[in-house]
């Protein structure tokens, strides 16, 4: 291949060349800036920057490179973004420039400063290397490389121009290249930031997709667990019924089954919340619905989150109160009614839940002479530590319970 090669001027150079031939450097820079501002396509912008560098330096070749870290973790090299005057074979050779290669751009990469090689044939370091052979094949004899540095001092890449004969750029050329390099560095810095943002967005999308998949899997597992728990309670109830069949006290069998079903309803609420704290109102509504008295009880109170232990305790307590009201209390009469309400009191650091069960329009109630499992369960309170007051008034049973909020969120 001839050491000299004629390269046709690209059409995009005409505006720059006209400004250079007939006007001042200010006119040239103005023409370059206007052309860059008008361009929206990123790769076209890179191309116009290289075209401008070629026009400024009157060179036959130009490249713009991005500094990048190789995937194997080695030393940073230079990735070719755009070129002018190079054949496809030349571009393939310099698509990735290893820092150990011999060229003006690798010398600039090592020093962080502009490098000018006036004649590759006279550069001792490149003599006898494949790099010199590559330059000869391309018809390149001399070169200059100007680093592209961000405003915070980070080396981003390089802009280089090459000549087909020995050449030393003038001070005027280098001054204009500095101005162009400032514009190119700002553009490259913005591009790198946009790529990093896109990468973060893609990673975020992958994370969100994985979370959604995990949520779907969790829902499937919860549904399956809920199904199995319900089956387990049904089996336990059946075994209990069969075991106590023929007993002289069938009411005990029925009571045990009802308590198991109340416990099952509370488990349903906790499963729906993935065993995270359940709302007190949801637990109360489920317990009353299970007892068949939802339309005969008023339920009112603020949102209060209960851990699994408190939720199960409350479900069983409300079941016992409802059962007692149906047998002996206000709900044993058609006009009877129950008000279930709660509130939060106390200082923020020691807030307390106050829950009230009030029966009205029922028969006169009297304190029982003995205490069974239900009485002991109610007496233990929501948190299992007491704080329960039972009042057997002529208007109906009243049960007042209280518990520190910080004792109601646990699962044990």
Confidence of residue 65 (pLDDT cuts 50, 70, 90): very high
- CATH number of domain containing 326: 3.30.565.10
Number of structural domains in the chain: 2
d(CA 392, CA 365): 6
Find all residues with CB under 8 Å of 236, minimum gap 6, and list them: 260
Co-location of 365 and 281 in the same domain: yes
Nearest to 97 by CA among 114, 115, 128, 74: 74
Domain final position from 183, 201, 219: 201
Task: Write out pLDDT tens, residues 324-347.
Answer: 888 889 998 888 999 999 999 988
Task: Write out pLDDT tens, residues 133-180.
Answer: 999 999 999 999 999 999 999 999 999 999 999 999 999 899 999 989
Find all residues with CB under 8 Å of 211, minimum gap 6, and list them: none
Bridge partners of residue 362, in order along the sequence: none
Q: Walk across the sheet containing 155-163 and list its strands.
A: 96-97, 77-84, 61-68, 155-163, 142-149, 115-117
- 214 found inside a domain: no
- 35 found inside a domain: yes
Residue 257's pLDDT is 65
Task: Write out pLDDT tens, residues 380-408.
Answer: 888 877 789 999 888 889 999 999 988 88
- 264 found inside a domain: no
Q: Residue 36 above 80 pLDDT?
A: no
Secondary structure of 253-313 in HEC code, one letter for each residue = HHHHHHHHHHHHHHHHHHHHCCCCCEEHHHHHHHHHHHHCCHHHEEEECCCCEECHHHHHH
Co-location of 41 and 157 in the same domain: yes
Domain final position from 201, 223, 239: 201
Residue 367's pLDDT is 83
- 127 found inside a domain: yes
Q: Which two tokens stand for residue 315?
A: 């479900």
Secondary structure of 87-112 in HEC code, one letter for each residue = CHHHHHHCCEECCCCCCHHHHHHHHC
Residue 252's pLDDT is 65
């Amino acid at each position: 291949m001839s050491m000299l090669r004629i390269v046709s001027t690209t059409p995009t150079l005409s505006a720059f060349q006209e400004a250079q031939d007939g006007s001042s450097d200010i006119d040239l820079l103005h023409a370059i800036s206007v052309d860059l501002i008008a361009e929206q396509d990123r790769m076209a912008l890179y191309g116009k920057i290289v075209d401008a560098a070629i026009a400024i330096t009157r060179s036959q070749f130009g490249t713009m490179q991005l500094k990048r870290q190789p995937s194997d973790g080695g030393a940073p090299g230079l990735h070719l973004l755009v070129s002018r005057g190079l054949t496809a074979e030349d571009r393939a050779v310099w698509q990735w420039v290893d820092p150990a290669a011999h060229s003006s751009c690798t010398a600039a990469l090592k020093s962080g400063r502009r490098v000018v090689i006036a004649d590759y044939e006279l550069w001792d370091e490149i003599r006898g290397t494949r790099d010199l052979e590559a330059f000869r094949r391309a018809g390149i004899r001399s070169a200059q490389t100007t680093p592209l540095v961000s405003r915070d001092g980070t080396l981003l890449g390089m802009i280089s121009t090459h000549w087909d004969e020995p050449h030393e750029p003038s001070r005027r050329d280098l001054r204009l290249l500095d101005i162009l390099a400032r514009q190119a560095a700002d553009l490259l810095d913005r591009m790198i930031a946009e790529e990093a943002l896109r990468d973060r967005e893609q990673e975020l999308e992958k994370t969100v997709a994985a979370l959604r998949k995990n949520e779907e899997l969790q829902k499937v597992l919860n549904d399956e667990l809920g199904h199995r728990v319900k089956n387990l309670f049904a089996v336990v109830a059946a075994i209990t019924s069969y075991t106590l069949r023929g007993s002289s006290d069938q009411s005990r069998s029925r009571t045990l089954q009802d308590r198991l079903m109340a416990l099952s309803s509370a488990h349903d609420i906790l499963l729906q919340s993935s065993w995270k704290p359940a709302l007190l109102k949801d637990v109360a509504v489920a317990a009353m619905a299970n007892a068949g008295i939802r339309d005969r009880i008023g339920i009112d109170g603020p949102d209060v989150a209960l851990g699994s232990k408190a939720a199960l305790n409350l479900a069983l307590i409300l079941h016992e109160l409802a059962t007692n009201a149906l047998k002996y209390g206000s709900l044993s009469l058609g006009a009877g009614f129950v008000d279930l309400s709660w509130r939060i009191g106390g200082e923020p650091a020691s807030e307390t839940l106050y829950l009230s069960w009030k029966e009205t329009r029922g028969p006169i109630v009297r304190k029982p002479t003995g205490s069974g499992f239900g009485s002991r369960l109610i007496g233990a309170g929501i948190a299992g530590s007491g704080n329960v007051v039972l009042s057997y008034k002529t208007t109906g049973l009243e049960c007042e319970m209280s518990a520190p909020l910080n004792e109601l969120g646990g699962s044990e």
